[in-house]
Amino acid sequence: MAKIRIFTDTNGDLPKEIREAYQIDYLKMCVAIDGQVVPADSDWSLWSAHEFYELIKKQRVTTTQVPIEEFRTRFAACLEQGEDVIYIGCALPLSSSVNTGAVVARELLAGYPEREIYCVDSKNVCNGEGMLAILAAQLRDAGKSAKEIVAAIEEKRAYVNQFVTVGSLDMLKRSGRVKGSAAFFGNLLGVKPILVSDANGQNVPVVKVKGRKTSLDKLVEMMKEAVVAPEEQTVYIQHADCEADALYLKEKLMELGFANAVIGIIGPVVGACIGGGAIGIWAFGKKVEMVV
């Protein structure tokens, strides 16, 4: 059986130690600041997370999908080494990277008819995407074929449960998700939306609460309702430069019986869209069937 290389992308927000432990690679998206486009590094080589989240308070930062040449270079290197490829990418409503990867894969496979490349829409983002890449790596290490792994991921992706809240409504206003007046008065009144990922991977607000601590407690409450078999899994906590809140959530989530909790930092691509102070939790649970 051919060796299988597992890829996610910057939006998977997997910290280096987890990527190394599971032998997962990632494809870099890009961020643009003042017209300068740079690779979006999950390991924060260009800025610290704190510097980045301070920067986006003052400057507009835009993001791009994984560049074609990144796909071409990384996929070609795997094929040349006799490896098959599984790329688990950001939800298509949020990024067209999976489609771009599939186009490059067809182009490259013409020269390697014995190899396989699968580009899989995770229908999730951030650690929801990352969790599926970890599962793919576990299945690979258990001896499953690339085709078997893809089938398992496509079935399991519907059971990823995400609950996220924001530090302020400013970034949602910039992206057009809330009106300027609503953001102004919402910030003034301390309104905090709770965002979930629907069945297609679109992030949508489903609940609004008042106050930061209330919003954190609401995340835990919603996860308690959604999670299945917490004692058999890890819950993932990602934050945008608000570590104290992440530690608070870890304590509360462990009370739900999770086997483990992992804290990470929301990376530059997701962070540029949602802003500093955002925080979210991810675990496998009930099937997500809502479609917006």
Q: Identify whether the C-beta of residue 195 lies closer than 8 Å to the C-beta of residue 206.
A: yes
In a domain, 173, yes or no: yes
**Shared domain check, 176 and 145:** no
**Shared domain check, 120 and 59:** yes
- 136, 158, 180: which is the final residue of a domain? 158
Q: Taking the CB of residue 163, how many other CB atoms lie within 10 A of it?
A: 25
Block mean pLDDT (10 aa), the chain, length 292: 92 96 97 90 93 91 95 98 98 96 98 97 97 98 97 98 86 46 36 92 92 96 98 98 98 98 96 93 97 88
Closest CA to 121 of 167, 73, 153: 153
In a domain, 270, yes or no: yes
Rounded mean pLDDT of the chain? 92
In a domain, 291, yes or no: no
Q: Taking the CB of residue 50, how many other CB atoms lie within 10 A of it?
A: 13
**What is the torsional sign of CA 203, 207, 209, 212?**
negative
In a domain, 251, yes or no: yes
The domain total for the chain is 2
Contacts of 41 (CB under 8 A, 6+ apart): 10, 28, 268
Share of the chain above pLDDT 70, in %: 92
**Shared domain check, 169 and 107:** no
Task: Write down the H helix ranges in 16-85.
Answer: 16-22, 49-58, 68-80
**Shared domain check, 262 and 203:** yes
In a domain, 292, yes or no: no
Q: What is the DSSP letter of 186?
A: H
Residue 42 has a pLDDT of 93
Token pair listed for 228: 């299945």
Residue 174 has a pLDDT of 55
Residue position matching structure tokens 């949020």: 94
**Shared domain check, 172 and 80:** no
**Shared domain check, 192 and 106:** no
**Shared domain check, 176 and 62:** no
**Shared domain check, 245 and 112:** no
- Which residues constitute the domain of residue 237? 159-284
121-144 pLDDT per residue, tens: 999 999 999 999 999 999 999 999
For residue 192, what is the domain's CATH number? Answer: 3.30.1180.10
**What is the torsional sign of CA 161, 167, 173, 178?**
positive
For residue 49, what is the domain's CATH number? Answer: 3.40.50.10170
Helix, strand, coil percentages (3-state) for the chain, rounded to 5, are 45, 25, 30
The torsion angles phi and psi of 240, rounded to 5 degrees, stand at: -110, 80
In a domain, 16, yes or no: yes
161-192 pLDDT per residue, tens: 999 999 876 655 454 443 333 333 234 335 78
